[in-house]
Chain A
């Protein structure tokens, strides 16, 4: 069973793995509430038309050293995606704060990683709004997002 990490710690995954569809199937689907999985090289513009129907987007991290997912998350948020955003795969606890700052709501890990990096190690990174240079420097135009 995968584990979902949020600011308060671990919680059990409530979504069924089979709920997730790729972008192509999402386009064909007539469901009102979609769970979409994207590779980290997806073009975010191509996802934009589906935003109103998407409940959750899961971006895959094939390796913790591959940072494309952070930029993809940032771009989806800037394009106006307001639904749930999850980083899944190989993400380590030391990356939790930057994942949150990039626009992710949560991280999904497997049981082996959860055993090696238990909940306390993730909770220690959960104050992601503190010590955040970029938030301090850059002023955002509140009317323009999306």
Chain B
């Protein structure tokens, strides 16, 4: 894992001091509220419905036990004893007081963490595949790239006042677990025909009110050209992105309005100019980054502890069948700890749960923890022999829900319970769905299913790329939920199709039940997922299940 250099350490300390000073200058009137706003946003402090919210970066989703314990400490000391893990590999504290924030930032700096650029019109926390360094199918670990981009984007002088926020994601595997196609810049690590490492570069993806799938601007960018190329994209965007309307200010709109070909030309021209003076990235630094993410030394010895427990404990077997993924080393597994207990709030963890996760990581799993954009926690390197012990500790803390990738593993934004922008509730909707399908006992029969819920058109819950997407709106003072079908967040990314009119909160669950029942009836085998069935048959049979009254009228 990457450890802060002396430079990083000094940087975050100085930044805390600077923010402390900015808070004082706001109070003394040297800064107006308008001037203070982007400064606090760039330090992660966001104004929510009820209070300030502090959004802490977990760069590329990687943290260790010491850092997780510090998050627990912050949750206990300055919040209400819990934290909320988000779809961008951040953790949010919902109840800090403004005056306490510099002290919280100081506590983060103590463990090599920060809240820099987690909000505001700048380059946000760089995200990456949460299985990085562990997945069996990986070409290259995306984290050295993500850390390089983190350092490069931090306080970048040219790109602190962009037209709008800017998100970058990196994936090092053919299986895209980082949603690269829904980011302003998506980087997919590839090799060219000569076997040299580089990137496929996608731009202009994004969800929000105008969802778009990213377009490839470079099939192969040599590794050493990365920063020069990314700077060229950012410069074109900074100079030409729209500033007259914040809803049309994202890069995706510039791509859409300019056209991919024409914008690609502009980027390539800028890149050609830049290349003249850009002599590359400091080699020693790059080598150090790569070394920092070398995998741990794996212990390949095995007993039968894992298999024995599976044979005699069916709950354990169900959990391992559901929540483990294939590790690059056969004596290991990647374990996903679901933060979606049946009827719970997706992504929430209590301080006590955070400490349990830290203990497990430290004692049993090479001291590494990941946070996924699907709002779960991951132990990327856990020896199979240690899994029974880890499972018992998880179970004692209520963290053993066996639903990774299943229907109740729902992504949901905070919605009207916390967010000032929300037009509908999303957490309670997720809770109702999770309870209902759990009670029906058909989750495992259904198999892989991604339900994603947003409480407004800004789409923080990624509903556009859910197999079933749910968008909560407000119609004449009443919540109304629109359903989209067939979305996909992976390498075969697609935006869901709107099914038809929205449903009231009461109608929503029965509608989803009809939809799922129809899928189970129509699928060609138990192995055909909802998404596959949808792609095979198209929307009509599913629409008919959602809107049976339309069929009656036609008859």
Contact = CB atoms under 8 A, between A and B. Distances in A.
A1 interface: no
A138 interface: yes
Contacts of A101: 157
A121 B156 contact: no
Interface in B8-28: 10-11, 14, 21-22, 25
B10 A131 contact: yes
A92 B278 contact: no
Contact of A65 (B156, B161, B273): B161
A68 interface: yes
Contacts of B121: 65, 67
Main secondary structure of the interface of B (DSSP, over half): helix
A111 to B, nearest CB: 15
B281 interface: yes
B285 interface: yes
Contacts of A137: 148, 151-152, 227, 281-282, 285
A131 B14 CA distance: 8
Point out which of A75, A97, A124, A137 has the most chain B C-beta atoms below 10 A from its C-beta. A137
A117 to B, nearest CB: 5
Nearest to B155: A133
Interface in B254-298: 273-274, 276-282, 285
Interface string A69-102: 0111011001000000000000010110111111
B160 A70 contact: yes
A134 B152 contact: yes
Interface bin, chain A: 35 or more
A71 B235 contact: yes
B158 A74 contact: yes
Nearest to B10: A131
Contacts of A99: 157
B326 to A, nearest CB: 35
Interface stretch (B30-38, B57-65, B182-190, B198-206): B30-38
B29 interface: yes
A131 B281 CA distance: 17
Contacts of A97: 157
A133 B238 CA distance: 20
Interface in B335-368: none
Given A131-B11, A133-B11, A137-B281, A67 B159 contact: yes
A144 B276 contact: yes
B243 interface: yes
Contacts of A102: 157-158
A19 interface: no
A116 B29 contact: yes
Interface string A123-144: 0100000111110111111001
A145 B277 CA distance: 6
Interface in B47-96: none
B22 A94 contact: yes
Nearest to B37: A65
A68 B239 contact: yes
A74 B235 contact: yes
Contacts of B157: 70, 74, 97-102, 134
B11 A141 contact: no
A134 B277 contact: no
A117 B31 CA distance: 8
B161 A67 contact: yes
Nearest to A104: B157
Contacts of A75: 235
Contacts of B14: 130-131
Contacts of B148: 137
Contacts of B39: 94
B509 to A, nearest CB: 44
B154 interface: yes
B148 to A, nearest CB: 7
B250 to A, nearest CB: 15
Contacts of B281: 137-139
Contacts of A116: 29-30
A118 B360 CA distance: 52
Nearest to B154: A133
Contacts of B30: 116-117, 121
B251 to A, nearest CB: 14
Contacts of B161: 64-67, 70, 95
Given A67-B162, A71-B239, A138 B29 contact: no
A140 B282 CA distance: 10
A130 B10 CA distance: 10
Given A74-B235, A78-B274, A92-B35, A67 B158 contact: yes
Contacts of B38: 65
A140 B155 CA distance: 19
B152 A92 contact: no
B243 A66 contact: yes
B155 A98 contact: yes
21 contacts: A66-B243, A67-B162, A68-B243, A74-B158, A78-B274, A94-B35, A95-B161, A98-B157, A117-B30, A121-B30, A124-B21, A130-B14, A131-B7, A133-B151, A133-B152, A134-B152, A134-B157, A136-B282, A138-B227, A139-B278, A144-B276
Given A134-B156, A136-B282, A141-B278, 16 more contacts: A64-B161, A67-B158, A67-B160, A68-B243, A71-B235, A72-B239, A97-B157, A98-B157, A102-B158, A117-B31, A131-B155, A133-B151, A136-B151, A137-B282, A137-B285, A138-B280
**Nearest 7 Cβ contacts at the A-B interface:** A67-B161, A101-B157, A98-B157, A141-B279, A139-B279, A144-B277, A144-B276
Interface of B: 7, 10-11, 14, 21-22, 25, 29-31, 35, 38-39, 121, 148, 151-152, 154-162, 227, 235, 238-239, 243, 273-274, 276-282, 285
Interface of A: 41, 64-68, 70-72, 74-75, 78, 92, 94-95, 97-102, 116-117, 121, 124, 130-134, 136-141, 144-145
